[in-house]
């Protein structure tokens, strides 16, 4: 992940999304379940994946788009060939006012999508 666990904890605390006690419980859960801290936050229902993503994106000053809530036009979706989209974990989800494709990437490539 782009942020360390300590950075993520600080962001969550600063945004009052969680308290110290819940963070400690989540750390324990992550260690016992052998999952990364950010996944433990979601699996433990401390925050939703959308809130976590939006909070991290806001901190990094990059756009956040919840693709589960976005209607992607068929012609836009196929701009990026499937083989490349899968390998690079990128998806075109819209077009801007100039017809340029707006794309997003998974958190393995943070900041590399152009948003829109």
Work out the pLDDT band at 1, boundaries 50, 70, 90.
Answer: low
List for the chain the helix, strand, coil content (%; round to 5): 50, 10, 40
pLDDT tens for residues 16-37? 999 999 999 999 999 999 999 9
Residue with the two structure tokens 């948003």: 115
Q: Helix axis angle, 20-33 relative to 5-14, nearest 10°?
A: 150
The mean per-residue pLDDT over the stretch 8-13 comes to: 96
Provide the H-helix boundaries in 15-48: 20-33, 37-43
Position 46 pLDDT exceeds 70: yes
Distance CA 40, CA 112 (A): 25
End-to-end alpha-carbon separation of the chain, Å? Answer: 23
């Amino acid at each position: 992940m782009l942020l360390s666990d300590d950075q993520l904890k600080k962001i969550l605390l600063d945004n009052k999304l969680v308290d110290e006690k819940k963070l400690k419980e989540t750390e324990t859960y992550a260690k016992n379940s052998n999952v990364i801290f950010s996944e433990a936050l979601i699996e433990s229902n401390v925050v939703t994946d959308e809130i976590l993503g939006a909070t991290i994106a806001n901190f990094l000053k990059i756009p956040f788009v919840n693709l589960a809530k976005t209607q992607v036009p068929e012609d836009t979706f196929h701009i990026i060939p499937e083989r490349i989209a899968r390998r690079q974990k990128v998806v075109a989800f819209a077009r801007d006012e100039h017809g340029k494709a707006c794309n997003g990437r998974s958190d393995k490539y943070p900041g590399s999508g152009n948003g829109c």
